[in-house]
Structure 1
Amino acid sequence: MATNYFSEEMVFLILSHLPVISLLRFKSVCKTWLSIITSPQFVEAHLANSRNKQASVLKASYYWRVFSMDTVEESVELKLPSRLEGMVYYMRSCNGLVCLSNESSYDICIWNPCTRQYKMLYAPNYEINQVGVCLGFGFDSVGNDYKILRIVTKVVRNTWGSIINMGNFSEAQLYSANADTWKMIRTPDTIKMSFWHKLKRFCGPDISGKLYMEGEGELLPFDLRNDLFGEIVVLPFPDYVEQKRIKKSKILDFEGSVAMVYESAGDESVMSLWMLDDDGLWIKKFNLEMDLELDRTYLYLGAQHFLGLNFVFGYKFYNYTKKTTKKLPFPAHLTDVKSVAKFTQSLVSLEGFQSQE
């Protein structure tokens, strides 16, 4: 009955624009719809349509029993897999999959919160004297493979187990979802140990098949397609004291390019978005309104919307073309939120996924 009035191609097209929660219900309509919705071609088409929409904000509470998916219009609470409660520290999202880990980045989970499926991973060769320094998650579009990059370093601990000294060696480990294995990745000899010691805890988002690690005034790209580290990229204003610029964002994905927000520290304060072009040069894209009082800019969600934070009033959506702001629909004060990530709904599933209880 469901396909009598429309061709199967038309049903495919219509369904590919619907949210995941509707598609999960529609799988029970008939065998034809079930076949369409579960086909790899449909999953890919639905993801492509989702990418063209404004992304949601995936928000994690400090208490870890509260996850929510927020848009400008609404907020939906999500339930974590039971094995994750009380341990989540890191969160990154790619194509509707979310990578979560504990503080040491030893227990790692890949989770699709829309389909309520997940897979637990465990980092290789874990030792008490090995500490996770940086974690990244992204997609290799050539190999159709989801990958996790984990940077670790050796440490010296006292008799009580506390770290008293960072080691002089860092190593990189890479997980492939297709192979379901970890492998060692050679770190460039040209990268000084001081860079690894000052490395931020989390990689930036997957931007056109690359992860970017941030050190002190520098970015180190990692190519997910070739499993190789690239050349160091210097930030627009690495010495912000002399340049009179203050960094106001982490690494942003702005329309498929690496971007960062800086604020001038002079009498005429202006907050600006700077974008890295194909030649490795930083180009000033446009200014943001200073009367917004955004202390940090966290995400670019597409459709002209940023997610920013005011230390007093909490998280806000900001439309840079209309110069308007709007609070998140779910309470989102600084003290309530541990981490935020850009999120796109999808039906993507990996081998070995299991359903939440």
Structure 2
Amino acid sequence: MATKRYNNYLSEEMVFLILSYLPVISLLRCKSVCKTWLSIITTPQFVKAHLANSRKKQASVLKAASYDWRVFSMDSVEESVELKLPSRLEGKVRYMRSCNGLVCLSNQGCDSICIWNPCTRQYKMLSVPSYANRAVTCLGFGFDYVGNDYKILRIVTKIAQDLRGLIVKICKPEALLYSANADTWKKIRIPDTIKISFWYSVKRFCGPDICGKLYWEGEGGLLPFDLRNDVFGEIVVLPFPNHVQQKRIKKSEILNFEGSLAMVYKSAGDESDLSLWMLDEGGLWIKKFILEMDLELDQVYLYLGAEHFVGLNLFFGYKFYNYRKKMTKELPFPAHLTDVKSVAKFTESLVSLEGFESQE
């Protein structure tokens, strides 16, 4: 009987498809297999396809420890991996946001800013405009899908002081936008209709990029910034007016829920009513569902996708919560990383920027 022979050859298109489903750590090894694989993995088309497949998987959580903001880890439902920060980042990290596998990090004064890919261990330190006078700085990070450009919005409020160090004047904020494509900062006009009182109450760091928009939370509402057109929009009123706020307790910052802006609120005095409110395309807030669970979350930090939230219980620590199965699971923190200061949603990728350099 004749032996049946098999052809072991795979087309380049099939190799492309198979490789695009591998984790980054495996792809970095695959680069050394042969010139053909190296050529495939380093093309923009492959990086884009790999990112699209990564988005279909369960996202991970980036964590910064409270006792030392230079101690980082990346956690999935199954495991926890410690990360080493770029050594050139000055001071302790006070801002962390992630988009398409890139992480924007900054120190307290936002004068040392870094864009970092923790999977490929590449990073870029940015040249940041400085101010002679004291200033309060707010920061946001996102992606312009039309222009294929990563952008950082930096809002600076200058504070004038007298010789005794007392504040005598708070100036109108200035907005600067960094474009990774142009590798420059430019000034952005802040509408005159936004009251100074809004900036007095604004959060230092804005929420995640939601479909190409950043949102700043301030007095009574959310201020959107369009990353495609580089303009601020009209303030979006929060789900509950001021006279109703005392009956509702906000249990989350701004969340990206399946591509829509969402927030979690709790009814005062009602332990079970922890509800997710979503902003629809018409600008109306709708109550999406109640997050029912036996173990209450005191704060909801992230929506990771695949039906999972990340929240905090003050007595039992950080938890994954599946809102459909009504189940919680502890994050697999190493013992020395249980005291966490900040968390961010992370999707691994091969995305790189012009000027990236390798970590030591």
TM over 0.5: yes
> Is residue 344 of structure 1 aligned with residue 357 of structure 2?
no
Name the counterpart of 1:273.
Answer: 276
In the other structure, the counterpart of 1:317 is: 320
Question: In structure 2, which of residues 281, 286, 290 is the aligned counterpart of residue 283 of structure 1?
Answer: 286
Matched residues, percent identical? 79
- Mapped to 1, the partners of 2:250 and 2:154 lie a distance apart of 25
What letter is aligned with 2:154? R
Candidates 65, 73, 78, aligned match of 1:61 = 65
Separation of aligned partners in 2, 1:103 and 1:65:
13
Q: Cα distance 1:180–1:129, how it changes in 2: closer, same or farther (>3 A)?
A: same
CA distance in 2, matches of 1:177, 1:163: 38
TM-score (normalised: structure 2) = 0.94
Give distance in 2, aligned partners of 1:240 and 1:22.
54
- SS of aligned partner of 1:135: strand
Shift in Å at residue 216 of structure 1? 2.2
Q: Check conservation: 2:223, 2:236, Cα contact below 8 A.
A: yes
Instruction: Determine the C-alpha separation between the residues in 2 that align with 1:163 and 1:5.
Output: 75
d(CA) in 2 for partners of 1:332 and 1:122? 37
**Aligned residue in 2 for 1:50:** 54
Over alpha carbons, which structure has the higher Rg? 2
- Residue identity matched to 2:237: V
Q: Tell me the amino acid that sits aligned with residue 289 of structure 2.
A: F
Aligned ranges for residues 125-274 of structure 1 at < 5 Å? 125-132=130-137, 134-157=138-161, 159=163, 164=167, 167-239=170-242, 244-267=247-270, 269-274=272-277
Q: Which moved more, 1:76-85 or 1:263-272?
A: 263-272
Deviation sequence 1:140-181 (CA, Å, 0-9, x none): 011000000001101133557x66356131111000000000
What SS does the corresponding residue of 1:155 show, helix, strand or coil? Answer: strand
Q: How many residues align?
A: 353
**Residue 304 of structure 2 aligns to a residue in which SS?**
strand
Q: Which amino acid aligns with 1:251?
A: I
- 1:85: Cα distance to partner? 6.2
1:38 CA drift (Å)? 0.4
Q: CA RMSD, aligned part only?
A: 1.9
Any conservation in 1 of the 2:252–2:300 contact (CA below 8 Å)? yes
Aligned to 1:91: 96
The question of whether the paired residues in 1 share the 8 Å contact of 2:225 and 2:233 is answered with yes
**For the structure 1 residues 188 and 268, does the alpha-carbon distance in structure 2 shift closer, same or farther, using more than 3 Å as the test?**
same
Deviation at 1:221, TM superposition (A): 0.3
Deviation at 1:237, TM superposition (A): 1.5
Q: Distance in 2 between matches of 1:321 and 1:333?
A: 31
CA distance in 2, matches of 1:164, 1:334: 38
Q: 5+ residue gaps in structure 1?
A: none
Q: Which amino acid aligns with 1:322?
A: K
Structure 2: stretches of 5+ with no match in the other structure? 1-6
Q: Report deviation, 1:292.
A: 2.2
**d(CA) in 1 for partners of 2:73, 2:277:** 30
Tell me the secondary structure at the aligned position of residue 42 of structure 1.
helix
Aligned to 2:78: 73
Contact map agreement 2:109 2:136 (CA 8 A) in 1: yes
